[in-house]
Amino acid sequence: MTNIYKTKLEGEKKLLEDELSELGKVDKAGHWEATPEDEMNSQEVPDEGDMAERAEDYEERSIKLNVLEARLSDINKALEKIDGENYGICEVCGKEIETDRLEVNPAARTCKECMEKIV
């Protein structure tokens, strides 16, 4: 049964990595960083307005990248659990995570009850 989730997780991982590589690159420590705009588009000479806009773009990309990276890290942890055969166990109470919750979010780390407690 975990095979379905593994396929889902691997599919989502691939998509996330594609999105991440459009926004930035991995540094030596394995963390994703947004690519500065001037690296992406170096042939143009920017004026001040451009510079401000680019800084804003960079900021936006960094935020988006952090969200995607956090999601990717959850997925990697879920994949590790599948290999370690303790997948689908709530990290807080140790009970099995509801199947419908895993359907919606195969990278879920807690059961519904504990999810509400954490948030």
- Residues binding Zn ion (CB under 5 A): 90, 92-93, 111, 114
| Shorter beta-carbon distance to Zn ion: residue 47 or 116 | 116
Beta-carbon contacts of 112 under 8 Å, excluding residues fewer than 6 positions away, are 97, 98, 101
| Shorter beta-carbon distance to Zn ion: residue 72 or 108 | 108
DSSP one-letter string for 71-116: HHHHHHHHHHHHHHT-TTB-TTT-SBPPHHHHHH-TT--S-HHHHH
CB of 5 to Zn ion, least distance (A): 18
| Shorter beta-carbon distance to Zn ion: residue 82 or 92 | 92
CB of 83 to Zn ion, least distance (A): 22
| Shorter beta-carbon distance to Zn ion: residue 13 or 109 | 109
CB of 112 to Zn ion, least distance (A): 8
CB of 71 to Zn ion, least distance (A): 20
| Sign of the CA dihedral running 20, 64, 16, 114 | positive
Q: What angle do CA 91, 2, 6 make, to 5 degrees?
A: 90
